Amino acid sequence: MNYSNWRSRLQNSAYVTNAILAVTILVFLLETFSGGSTNNSVLVFYGARLNPLILYGQWWRLMTPVFVHIGLMHILVNGFSLYYLGQMTEQLFGHWRFFLLYFISGFAGNVASFAFSPNTLAAGASTAIFGLLGACLMLGDSFKENPVIRQLARQFLLLVGLNLLFNLFSSGIDIFGHIGGLLGGFLAAGMLGAPALGRMGTPRRIASAVTLLFGLGALLFLGFNAG
């Protein structure tokens, strides 16, 4: 295979999704061999969100929880969700936009969790995964004239509704992190745009960026003052 063919195949693959998934699985294996993925001290060591440590200055815990998972079922559900949604979302947004979208969503979800769930130890990629769902909802709103995107957005809207309803009646699930990731993904997608689908107006992109930054700032203020 010559270089041009190899490069073309790489560009057409969801290599960012695959890389994130590989790191996530590696972290889970490290958790498992370090004492177990349900051991609180192990979870904290590998970067789970714990508000007292964030207040102490460990800001990275607003991002690292996306790589940490609690138990086998947790990593399986989030791993398959990331693979399925990531493959599609990376194709729609492009590689570097998908990278930013994923981690902005994860950060937004963890910031919301930091502000509204101060007494819980939290981890998981679901904040970022809900952000991918939010990004697809943004596409449905911005590209209504595209029947495929419109139908896709409707399906994901139903999926979001069912998941949030399930969150309300389930213990141990941080609904604030999921809602924060969902809204963060929606706004981040509006800010980044999706050139593969069409041009988005500059005013909307600016408004999305301002709203996202203001929202994150307000949640951080709330979290640090509540602590």
Q: Enumerate the active-site residues.
A: 126, 178
CA distances from 141 to 123, 130, 135, 166, 186 (A): 30, 17, 10, 25, 10
Please give the C-alpha separations between residue 140 and each of 165, 203, 221, 227, in angstroms, as whole numbers: 22, 18, 32, 38
Residue in the structure block whose two tokens are 């963890």: 110
Question: From CA 64, how far away is CA 49, in angstroms rounded?
Answer: 8
C-alpha span between 25 and 68 (Å, rounded): 9
Q: How many CB atoms lie within 10 A of CB 213?
A: 12
205: which 2 tokens? 């992109």
